[in-house]
A and B are shown apart, each in its own frame.
Chain A
Amino acid sequence: EIVLTQSPATLSLSPGDAATLSCRASQSVGTHLAWYQQRPGQAPRLLIYDSSNRATGIPVRFRGSGSGTDFTLTISSLEPEDFAVYHCQQRSSWPPRYSFGPGTKLEIK
């Protein structure tokens, strides 16, 4: 079973700041790593898939990077609507199994 950890648990920043969120896997997942944004009372929304590919309609200020066990989501200049919880998620190769990290809460400072 692949376990994902995320850091920090909470990140306090101001609009206009840059945010860096980390996700670490207990074993290599290659580039099968995705990032989601979840606002209160809403379903998760896919931001990044396969480590660095932006999903349809996702602004360019969201950038994903990494491979193996260490991954990063960077938001270049925070907008008010970006303050939310961010989850990372991996898919193992075979059999395909999915797991999520505990989330990072991005809050307004």
Chain B
Amino acid sequence: QVQVQESGPGLVKPSETLSLTCTVSGDSISRYYWSWIRQAPGKRLEWIGYLFFTGTTNFDPSFKRRVTMSADTSKNQISLNVTSVNDADTAVYYCAGTYSYGRPGSAFESWGQGILVTVSS
């Protein structure tokens, strides 16, 4: 069974870059499309974008200018960077995988437990 774990700083200053890592165990990251999804307090879940291990990415238009994702297959990890953060970026960030059937699946089968990131000076 795939296990997913997010890690990174829980506090980021406004205008700085939020950087998170997702470590996957139990299966190769190459079998899945990996998404970052966040949930701000009192808000619905929000999909940020996905990465395939080949480097293929697809971002929600509202994040496209500020987000990068990358994969380290040797460590079985996926990374997220969000630049120029502000208060609205305060949220629980989840790493979630959807199995690759040659294209992204329609649902997220595997989730990390999430990490709370607070943007504050």
Residue of B nearest to A92 (CB): B106
Q: Is A59 positioned at the interface, with any CB of B under 8 Å from its CB?
A: no
Residue of A nearest to B108 (CB): A46
Chain B interface secondary structure, helix, strand, loop or mixed?
A: loop
Q: Please name all residues of chain B whose beta carbon is closer than 8 Å to the beta carbon of A91 when the two chains form the complex.
A: 104-107
Q: Give the size range of A's interface with the partner.
A: 20 to 34
Contact string against B for A residues 23-62, beta-carbon threshold 8 Å, 1 for contact and 0 otherwise: 0000000001110100000111110011000011000000
Could you tell me the distance in whole angstroms from the C-beta of A95 to the nearest C-beta in chain B? 6
Q: Is B58 positioned at the interface, with any CB of A under 8 Å from its CB?
A: yes
Distance of A44 Cα from B108 Cα, bound (Å): 9
Known contacts A42-B113, A102-B44, A103-B44, A96 near B107 by CB under 8 Å: no
Q: Give the size range of B's interface with the partner.
A: 20 to 34
Are B107 and A46 touching (Cβ within 8 A)?
Answer: yes
Known contacts A44-B45, A44-B111, A103-B44, A97 near B60 by CB under 8 Å: yes
Interface residues of A (CB under 8 A from B): 32-34, 36, 42-46, 49-50, 55-56, 87, 89, 91, 95-103
- For this complex, 10 residue pairs linking A to B, each with C-beta atoms less than 8 Å apart, are A32-B106, A43-B94, A44-B94, A46-B107, A56-B109, A97-B60, A98-B37, A98-B47, A99-B47, A103-B44
